[in-house]
Structure formats: structure tokens, C-alpha cells
Amino acid sequence: MKFKHDYQLSTKPNLGKRLVAALIDYGLIMSYFLLMIYLYGEPNDEGGYSVNGLPGFSITVVWFILTIGLEQMTGSTLGNKSQGLKVAPKTDPRKSLTFGQSLKRHLLDIIDLWPFGLLAILTIKNTEYNQRLGDLWAKTVVIDSTDPEQGLQTKE
């Protein structure tokens, strides 16, 4: 989609920063998950452990807060913030991300991150605005706020 404005959108893949951000975000979520298994896990029939009830539900709540909640409120997850990355609407990165956009982005994390993030890397490298599947569906872009060449550029 080309814009009919006096500016144009410019992004870069930022693969290294995006990888570090994902490791931070999902490392925090996985740490909480492991803590819940340690504290509340009960042996199951498959030889593993299950976490049920409120402790099990809290894992979903923590995922929701650390991904969708923070991103919708601040434009960045903790991992993205640490790397200087900001998620914004593709149509106008000056605007704030909506709840629906953040929800769509993160509902596809399981697909984007499988296997080992390969699908996300391929789509980031091969789309015009360096978007993964979640970004394509939500119509969002990831911009390195520390790079003056990214974001909206005035047309000459």
C-alpha cells in the first residue's frame, strides 16, 4: 500500500534487535511459567507437571500484560523498549497502537516464532516494510526509534 501523503514510511529489518527483544520478552514469560510449575505444579499422567486453577490462569494474564498490555499502552514491550524498538500503525506511525492491533500481532506469535523464528525472519526479510505475519495482519510496523532513517521521511 503506497501512501498519498507528503511523507513516506521507511523501515529496516532490525533482525538482531528484534531477536534480542523477543528473547527478553519470552524469557520473562517462560521464567514466570517455570516459577508457577515449581510452586504449583502437580504430576500428571504423561510424566510431566500441570498447573491448574488460578496459578495456571495467571500465566496467561502475565503473557497478556507483558505483551499486549504494555505494547498497547506504551508502543513497546519490555524487550522492544530495551532495544529502542517501537510498534506503530503502518498507515501513520505517529499514531498510537490500538488494543486490536496489539492483540492481532501477538495472537500470531506462536506461528511467527515457530520453528525457531524462521517464519518471522523470512517474512521480515521479504516484505516491503519488514513485517512478520502478526504485523501484516495487524497492519503495524516495527521501527527503531534510535535510527533517524526509520519512520516517516519527508518526500523531496
Distance of alpha carbon 137 from the chain centroid: 13
pLDDT, residue 25, reads 97
| Pairing, β 85-89 against β 140-144 | antiparallel
Predicted confidence (pLDDT) per residue in 41-94, tens digit: 999 999 999 999 999 999 999 999 999 999 999 999 999 999 999 999 999 998
Q: What is the mean pLDDT of the chain?
A: 92
In Å, what is the CA distance from 2 to each residue of 7, 60, 103, 129, 148?
Answer: 11, 37, 25, 11, 21
pLDDT at 1 over 80: no
- Spatial separation of the C-alpha atoms in residues 15 and 111, rounded to whole Å: 17
The torsion angle over the Cα atoms of residues 87, 58, 29 and 99, rounded to 10 degrees, is -10
Average pLDDT over residues 8-36: 95
pLDDT, residue 58, reads 96
CA triplet 56, 67, 85: central angle to 5 degrees? 155
pTM score > 0.85 for this model?
Answer: yes
- Spatial separation of the C-alpha atoms in residues 74 and 129, rounded to whole Å: 21
